[in-house]
Amino acid sequence: MSSATRPSAAARPPASADALLVAEAVQKTYAMGRTTLVVLRGCDLRVRAGEFVAIMGKSGSGKSTLLHILGALDVPQDGQVYFGGAPVFAPPGRRRLRTTALDVLSAAERRRIALRRRAFGFVFQFYHLLPELNVLENVLLARMVGTRVLAWPAARAAARADALAILERVGLRDRLRHRPSELSGGERQRVAIARALVHRPQILLADEPTGNLDAENGAALLALLKGLHADGQTIVLVTHDPGVAAQADRVLLLEGGRLRTV
Amino acid sequence: MYKLFLTLRYLRKRRIAYFAIAAVMLCSAMVLIVMSVMGGFLDLLKTKARGLLGDIIIDNRSYSGFPLYDEFIADISAWPEIEKATPVLYSYGLLRFSETTQTQTVRVVGIRLADVYVVNAFKSGLYYETYYPGTTSLAPQAQPRVGFDVQQTIEIRDERGTRVGTGPRPVLPPEYQAALERSWAAGLRDTLTPPTELTAILRGAGLPEIVGVYDLVDDHGPPRFTGNELPGLIIGRDIIAERLPTAAYKRFWAYPRGCVVALTLLPLSATGTADIPVKQPFRYVDDSRTGIYEIDSQHVYCDFELLQKLLQMHATERVDPETGRTIGTVPGRASQIQVKLRPQVAGRPVRPEAVAQRLSEHYHALAADPRFDLGFDDRLLIDRVEALTWEESQRHIIAPVENERRLVTILFGIISLVAVVLVLCILYMIVLQKTRDIGIVKSIGGSSTGVAAIFVTYGAAVGLVGALSGAALGIVFVHHINEIQDFLTWAFGWRVWSREVYSFDAIPSTVRVEDTVAVIVAAILAATLGSLLAAWRAGAMQPVEALRHE
Ligand SMILES: Nc1ncnc2c1ncn2[C@@H]1O[C@H](COP(=O)(O)OP(=O)(O)O)[C@@H](O)[C@H]1O
Ligand SMILES: [Mg+2]
């Protein structure tokens, strides 16, 4: 990827206290009938810009839950996440755990929507592509989300150029018109990465991206992630595979609802 | 942008949406058809009522009628608002065709033909008067027969146009032939009625076609009148002719113009009891079609003065029962006076209600007028006389139909809620199927409101497409409603529209722009409303839960 299409880390706004994403004492519990399942007991995390952080943990340890909270998709009962120094959630006392259909009326929700649109890019274990859309449309959708209908005709050309560049990078430039069902698992995951990057997010959040891939495809994907990191992309990756985690700058272990360094 | 994009994509990719569209389409078409047919029925009812009755109807709703009609008409004819007024007499009778034993009860209407031509639309419904202008008369007359003009030889061709020979030209008696040639020159053609042998021959020779049914002279001689002179009778078209599915009428050779029919009447005495029946032969001079089946299958029209005399409602001498001497006159009576108004007087429009009010008052004043020495009974009859505008006089028919139209529209609107429920179910189903996609859209920054908007737009789009195609379907259906009915009758012997029940012989319909727009708007709103629940459900989905959805 050329520096013309992707801004370098230095071009991004400086993060306050040099940490781009900070989690402080994040707690998440699920009510299971009479008992409550405590998944996160108090997680602390600091991710600097340009870092490649891996979070390891057994299946069911709460990795996905933590990543969803970091990516503003889920709301913790307690604790706070700061992005670029600004809190992502309302103070615990005034925090609503569930979104409503009229989420645009809430300032906190609006902020999280803006973060998802611009700051974060998500990659999931199960790809999560829209089956009705072809490869290019799946990628472009992430740009449409932040653009008004009337602004789209003007923004379309740039969005398309970015989408094509990123698809080139992930090696799917010649598969634009294919449906997700016509692609292999590895290809689907690369489309998902393209979608997660097309809006140039400050952090790429990847939830077991290699979990469903064979060794060869997994390695290729990992190589892709490393390449992105080398270009300055901040990455937070969740995995239960030590081999995958070993590629990161820093590995954290999620155990008993807490994060610790290995 | 993603909302519009996904809405359009889901519309194209989710086949199940077509069912919702079809439901909306059928419901809007249904409501529009109902509104149009009922509205057309109403419009027709109004125009027909007016065409039959004139602008104002003066009546006392008594079989005995009321006196002083001519004196009244003479008075009001001087009013600037009045164009023409004419008395009408109604009675019942038995009609018998002389050639057959066929007998039928009819409503006998006594009219002054020349006046009625002015007052209402009667003339335009006459058949022979249209093609032979000026020949229809209620006065005594003989039967006109088609004869031959030996001076003129014409070529006779068969239906394929091949010449088969020559012969003398068939013609009507001079005044009838002249009338025919006048209307022919004016471009009048009877294209509906199936051709007869006579019209086919004349058409082949390029001569004016003698339409209708006439008897032929017996001896190949010149045209002439035969038989004794009898008063004319105009007969309702559905009595004398057969209606074809093409809306044309077929007249029978057994009933040529001028054939003899007999009418038996029951005069009522002053006390209201029927005395001795009287029988009067007539000649069938024309047939009339108002378009209202009840009238066209029951009414016959004869001369007012003649009917009055037959019913013994004409002016007679009043005899003192004790002395046996004449002490005055019993005035003649009429059942109704029909009035045609001028549209405006001195540049100002005439208000029928106001004129009707003044006409009533004037009539009541006649009862006390010293000019006429009226008996007690006659005064009573005049007291009950009332002048009504055609709308008021038909209110008892029109108002219920108006109510019915509103009611049926509401009922069908309620039935259309089925479509709303269907839209709701289908959209809800799509939302459930698309749970994971909703999670994905939210994870890349779609707001809940935006996701909800996708489904509201979806519902509105279903409504829009359904309503527009439904309106188109409804309009096409209404446009061809009589063909569809004729087809059903032909294919299954199944007649939906009964002429006997609904008065009119064709299904009326008027597609109004405002009705169409209202139906379209209502359908779009209803479909949008139906989508709200599903949209709310989609919007309220938690992104993480949606993503974890299997
Ligand atoms: N919506 C939920 N309701 C109840 N329990 C949940 C829910 N989501 C996750 N969990 C539970 O939280 C725990 C952590 O889940 P997850 O974050 O997916 O773990 P991991 O990604 O590390 O495998 C699991 O035990 C899971 O069953
Ligand atoms: Mg997980």
What are the pLDDT digits (tens) for B64-87?
889 999 999 999 999 999 999 999
Domain membership flag for residue A250:
yes
Residue A6 clears pLDDT 60, i.e. is over it:
no
pLDDT at residue B488 tops 70: yes
Shortest distance, CA B419 to any CA of chain A (angstroms):
25
- Indicate the number of domains in chain B: 2
CATH number of domain containing A111: 3.40.50.300
How close A134 comes to chain B (CA, Å)?
11
Helix (H) or strand (E) holding B83: strand B82-97
Q: How close, in Å, is residue B446 to chain A by CA atoms?
A: 6
Overall number of domains in chain A: 1
Average pLDDT, chain B: 88
C-beta A134 within 6 A of ligand 1: no
**Residues of B with Cβ-Cβ distance to A102 under 8 angstroms:** 448-449, 539
Which domain does A215 fall in, by range?
A: 51-76+97-261
Q: Is A60 in the pocket of ligand 1 (CB under 6 A)?
A: yes
Look at residue B502 and tell me whether its pLDDT is greater than 80.
no
Please tell me the pTM assigned to this model.
0.70
Share of chain A above pLDDT 70, in %: 94
- Does the beta carbon of A227 sit less than 6 angstroms from any atom of ligand 1? no
- Domain check: are B413 and B543 in the same one? yes
| Same domain, residue pair B406 and B529 | yes
Q: List the one residue out of A198, A195, A173, A178 whose CA is nearest residue A135.
A: A178
Range of the domain at B529: 2-48+396-548
The residues placing their C-beta within 5 Å of ligand 2, an ion, are A 64
A227 domain residue, yes or no:
yes
pLDDT digits (tens, 9 = 90+) for B396-446: 778 888 898 889 888 988 888 888 898 899 999 999 999 999 999 999 999
Q: Does residue B524 share a domain with residue B408?
A: yes
pLDDT in tens, A193-237: 999 999 999 999 999 999 888 999 899 999 999 999 999 999 999
One domain for residues B42 and B155? no
CB-CB under 8 Å, B444 with A103: no
Tell me the one-letter amino acid at B490. Answer: W
Assigned domain for A128 exists: yes
**Does the pLDDT of residue B499 top 70, yes or no?**
no
Asked if residue A181 is part of any domain, the answer here is yes
Nearest ligand by distance to the CA of A208: 2
How far is the C-alpha of A45 from the C-alpha of A19, rounded, in Å?
A: 10
- Does residue A235 lie within any of the structural domains? yes
What's phi and psi for B397, nearest 5 deg?
-95, -40
Confidence (pLDDT) at B271: 58
DSSP string, B198-233: HHHHHHHTT-----S--EEPTTS---EEEEEEE-EE
List the single best residue of A103, A104, A123, A133 to mutate versus B (max B Cβ within 10 A).
A103
* Residue A132 forms part of a structural domain: yes
Is the residue at B370 inside a domain?
no
pLDDT of residue A1 exceeding 60: no
Q: How many CA atoms lie within 13 A of B143 on its CB side?
A: 21
- Shared domain for B42 and B171, answered yes or no, is no
By mean pLDDT, which of A136-150, A192-206, B6-20, B102-116 is the weakest?
Answer: B6-20
B255 contacts: CB under 8 Å, gap ≥ 6: B97, B99, B213, B240, B284
In a domain? residue A44: no
User: Does a structural domain hold residue A25?
Assistant: no
Choose, out of B442, B447, B537, the residue to mutate when testing the contact with A (most A CBs < 10 Å). Answer: B447
Give tens-digit pLDDT for B250-275. 898 889 999 999 999 988 765 556 67
In-domain check, residue B89 = no
**B70 part of a folded domain:** no
Q: Is residue B177 part of a domain?
A: yes
Q: Which pLDDT band, with edges at 50, 70 and 90, does A2 fall under?
A: very low
Residue B431 near residue B534, CB atoms below 8 Å:
yes
Question: Looking at this predicted complex, what is its ipTM?
Answer: 0.91
| Cα A260 to ligand 1 centre (Å) | 19
**Residues of A engaging B, defined by a Cβ cutoff of 8 Å:** 68, 71, 73-74, 98-104, 109-110, 113-114, 116-118, 122, 124, 128-133, 137, 141-142, 144-149, 151-152, 195
Distance of CA B274 to CAs B64, B267, B311, B381, B519, Å? 11, 6, 10, 19, 56
